[in-house]
Amino acid sequence: MGGDSLSARAVVVEYGSVPVLKGVSIDIAPGEFVALLGSSGCGKTTLLRAVSGFVKVRSGSIHIAGRDVTSLPPERRDVAMVFQSYALWPHMTAAENLAYGLRIRKIPRAERDRRVAEVLEMLGLGGLGDRPVTQLSGGQRQRVALGRALAVNPRMLLLDEPLSNLDARIREVVRHEIKALQTRLGITAVHVTHDREEAMVMADRIAIMEAGGIAQLGTPEDIYLRPRSPFVADFMGASNVVPLTVGAAGDGHIRVEPGPDHDAAELPVSAGTGQPGVHLCASGPGTVRAHFRSEAVSLVPFGQDGPGGVLLRGRIAQASYPGGFYRYAVEVGARRFLVDDARRLSVGEAVGVAVPPSALHLYDAQPS
């Protein structure tokens, strides 16, 4: 089947006088799977609808396969869209829903039947074509919605949070099915989601959206390991923040000055992919905000040295057992961090939170 390229240039969309997209630019290669990831209101669905033609672009341009489609209606863009709400005809069977787009395109009956049968088998819905969609499970309905889009042989698939209505177990299965189909068919896919894990599992590249723009675009590994801003770090799970004072130590290292809850430390700086060390995005020495993920740290007995990195002195304020390990809320000064540990420890016990260099993302301190 193959896929088309997509190029958006300085796209601006406004709802009334409110800017929703503020000059967004992105290039997507043929056959690539790109996730638009962000919280509600960041503009990700609006960007998808601008690509599909369902919202009007105030300025900028959108090209699909090199063709300017900015002013074209949805039906002339050769894209297919899968909606969050499924948008299936409740009075039709699964097969009739699959055939709907083909009938609109006036595809001959024999060819329609052939494509519908092919899509039913491809999606594991064989034998369910004659069943009303109201009698299908949520996962089966979502497969029908996906199949209706695939039946017209699109070269670009637009997915607007299609898995958000499914329970966790079915969602995990269907997302792998969608990715496998997209890879096998070679279709270009743009997928809107607010689920970080979903984007990481499915996408070749992820665009983190913030306030109507793209904060960072890169591979899942690059965005996870090298977030370029505090916003991206926080969104990708490095939401623990502690202020540190740092200075250059030479030979690819930085020095962390002692503070009220930690001692001095000398840490290596990552020089790029595969290089262990601090991810340094601060512009120079001074006070920085250090982000880290809870799962990247460990607890050590109070007074014992950590395995290297920054050792924060704290006290266990809360404990829970989610299964297989204990989860502790550790108070460090006025801050509280969640840390998982296999050992059973007591509330009130003094501990050290060991943060290895590779877990630290350092950014310029923001004015208070």
**Nearest-10 crossing angle of helices 94-104, 138-151:** 20
β-bridge mates for residue 5, sequence order: none
Q: Which helix (H) or strand (E) holds 361?
A: strand 361-364
CB-side neighbour CA atoms (13 Å) of 232: 23
**Residue 255, exposed/middle/buried by CB under 10 A (0-12, 13-18, 19+)?**
middle
Q: Which fold has domain 6-229?
A: Rossmann fold (3.40.50)
Residue 221: predicted pLDDT:
95
Which part of the chain has CATH 2.40.50.100? 232-364
Handedness of CA 260, 265, 270, 274 (dihedral sign): negative
The residue assigned the tokens 């958006």 is: 8
CB-side neighbour CA atoms (13 Å) of 102: 23
Which part of the chain has CATH 3.40.50.300? 6-229
Q: Could you give the CA distance from residue 132 to residue 139 in angstroms, rounded to a whole number?
A: 14
DSSP state of 39: -
The residue assigned the tokens 């009130």 is: 348
β-bridge mates for residue 250, sequence order: 253
Any residues with CB less than 8 A from the CB of 20 and at least 6 apart, and which?
13, 14, 43, 46, 212
Count the helices and strands in the chain (H runs, E runs): 8, 21
- How do strand 188-193 and strand 80-82 relate by DSSP bridges? unpaired
Residue 266: predicted pLDDT:
92
Residue 7: predicted pLDDT:
97
Instruction: Return per-residue pLDDT of the chain as tens, 368 residues.
Output: 678 999 999 999 999 889 999 999 999 999 999 999 999 889 999 999 999 999 999 999 999 999 999 999 988 888 988 887 767 888 989 888 888 888 888 888 998 888 888 888 877 888 888 888 888 888 788 888 888 888 887 889 999 987 777 777 777 887 888 888 889 889 999 999 999 999 999 999 999 999 999 999 999 999 999 999 999 999 999 999 999 999 987 788 999 999 999 999 999 998 765 568 999 998 878 999 999 998 899 999 988 887 789 999 999 999 999 999 999 999 999 999 999 999 999 999 999 999 999 999 999 987 54
Q: How many CB atoms lie within 10 A of CB 349?
A: 15
Alpha helices (H) in the chain, listed in sequence order = 44-52, 94-104, 109-122, 138-151, 168-185, 196-202, 220-225, 230-235
Q: In whole angstroms, what separates CA 319 from the centre of its chain?
A: 30
Q: Could you give the CA distance from residue 298 to residue 341 in angstroms, rounded to a whole number?
A: 7
Q: Could you give the CA distance from residue 64 to residue 70 in angstroms, rounded to a whole number?
A: 9
b or e along 38-75 (b: 16 or more beta carbons within 10 Å of the residue's beta carbon)? beeebbbbbbbbbbbbebebeebebbbbeeebbeeebe
Q: Which helix (H) or strand (E) holds 205?
A: strand 205-210
C-alpha angle 229-44-223 in degrees, rounded to nearest 5: 35
Residue 304: predicted pLDDT:
83
Is 1.20.1260.10 the CATH classification of the domain at 232-364? Answer: no
**Residue 334, exposed/middle/buried by CB under 10 A (0-12, 13-18, 19+)?**
exposed
